[in-house]
Structure 1
Amino acid sequence: MAVTDGHDVEPTDEQEEPAATVSALRTSPDRTVFTEDGNSDGWIATDHTVSLSR
């Protein structure tokens, strides 16, 4: 099985999937858990998060 990343994928004219909605839940003062809407099996927990500026 070959490993593929986004650089190996040929661009298409098909409609792209909508962006995933991600929620950040603060479970304690030093822990944040990120979950994807509709996917309770996929989550990421971290002890260090940073604020993004736009």
Structure 2
Amino acid sequence: METTDTDAPDDEPAPADAAPRISVCNATPERTVFAEEGNEDGWIATDYSVSLTR
């Protein structure tokens, strides 16, 4: 009898709830800072950002 690994990852995408939460703040009127919730070591700052519409 062949054994299978029931814990093997599948190729299905993760649910939308699994997406990281991102906080955004304006450090100055010209600078926007993005930070991932729970990640105190990594952040992205930019002098140029655009608004997205859905």
Cα RMSD (Å): 2.3
For the residue of structure 1 that corresponds to 2:48, the secondary structure is coil
How much identity, in percent, do the aligned residues show?
Answer: 55
Q: Distance in 1 between matches of 2:11 and 2:29?
A: 45
Match of residue 10 from structure 2: 12
| Structure index of larger Rg | 2
Q: Distance in 1 between matches of 2:13 and 2:49?
A: 32
Unaligned runs of 5+ in 1: 1-10
Unaligned runs of 5+ in 2: 1-8
- Which structure shows the higher strand fraction? 1
Structure 1: 4+ residue segments shifted above 6 A:
none
The correspondence of residues 1-54 of structure 1 with structure 2, limited to 5 A, is 12=10, 16=14, 18-54=18-54
**1:41 aligned partner, one-letter code:** D
Q: How many positions carry a matched residue from both structures?
A: 44
